[in-house]
Amino acid sequence: MEEILDAGEVLRQASAVIGQPVTLWEVTGAHEAVPRATSDQSRTPRLDLEATLRRWNIPVPIGSRWVAAPGATSDAWVIAPVRSRPPAPPPQGRERRSKERLALELAGLALGLIDAPASHQTAALPPGILAHEASNPLTAARTGLELAMESVGRWVDLAADRRLALLDDLGQVLEDLDRTSEFLRVMRDRARAGGRAERFDAVRVVRSCLTLERRLLRDRGIDLDFTTAVEATYLKGDPNALFDLLVNLVRNAADPTAQTPTRVRVQLDQRGSDLELIVRGSGTAASIAKLRGVAEGFSGTVKVDSGEGHGAGTTFTIVLPVPPQREGDSRRP
């Protein structure tokens, strides 16, 4: 797969988030690591493996790569490994890592995906999907932080000067979250702009998208139903484009102004030589030109049925031609 982001750009974006130079190190010996790329050529401090990694009794094999940035003090570092798979979720779903560590984790993941062998890249989710998935907990965290700030603002038992100082600190955290979200947005935009035609399992992309969207809609009291009998169907095109198209359809179908909780229904069928994606909900037809532009990228079409009567909702039908499949494509990996 063609590289979408180079190492220097990833490190520069991470550096902009945490406000410190970020360097990519490779372990070349038992006690030595050399810099391979950095966000700031004028400042590349030496990485002490004993002080930064081995004191935690974690494996540091020769050839492993790490993204590192100076910490709050001269002998403190923030470090994350370069990997092609996301790390395990936090215990009990509670994220305790600092924003600096999260930024470096994302940078290490981006670098791992850039350099991953082709066999690993086909098994990994597209970068745009990963960036979208990483954005979800940040969105939830930002909402929770805003609610906390509102509560602190009404906390009359706290001295006014202390309350203002606390709100100031929370506001800084809010800005940090926004900078990290912007970093993820840039990753998605670069992935979309650099998208190229490739062979991918459309069913897997659809399932990944709906898994993420279902979590977001559940918090709003909206159910997302998905039905399909298709195990795997391969298309030729940009998987990020199909992912974003479905995100737009689902969010449009979930009408936020409805007085009662709505239900979004998604159906995926293969009819002859076409893959048919149907999304039904209470939203209105919007951004049709954009949807058609994406569908036409797959030589497909978009049909919109606004229904009849009040509250009938809208049905979107996306028809995408299926190219000749290879032997074994019908079996899910």
d(CA 74, CA 45): 10
Q: How sure is the predictor about 199, in pLDDT bands with cuts at 50, 70 and 90? A: confident
Task: Look up residue 254 and give its amino acid.
Answer: A
Q: Please give the domain boundaries of the chain with CATH numbers for all domains.
A: 1-196 (no CATH), 200-321 (3.30.565.10)
pLDDT digits 0-9 by tens, 221-262: 788 999 999 988 999 888 888 888 898 888 888 765 555 557
- Tens of pLDDT, residues 158-182: 788 888 888 887 887 777 777 777 6
Does the pLDDT of residue 120 top 80, yes or no? no
Measured distance CA(204)–CA(192) in Å, rounded: 18
Cα gap 80→67, rounded to integer Å: 5
Q: How far is CA 14 from the centre of its chain?
A: 15
The rounded distance, in Å, linking the Cα atoms of 242 and 249 is: 11
What is the reported pTM? 0.45
pLDDT reading at 119 higher than 80 = no
Rg of the chain's alpha carbons, rounded to an integer?
23
pLDDT at 317: 93
In 3D, which of 163, 147, 144 has the Cα closest to residue 155? Answer: 163
127 against 60, higher pLDDT: 60
| Residue range 123-144, pLDDT digits in tens | 445 566 666 666 666 776 777 7
Q: 270-321: per-residue pLDDT in tens?
A: 999 999 999 988 766 556 777 888 888 889 999 888 765 545 578 899 999 9
Percent of the chain scored above 70 by pLDDT?
A: 74
Task: Judge contact between 116 and 84, C-beta under 8 A.
Answer: yes
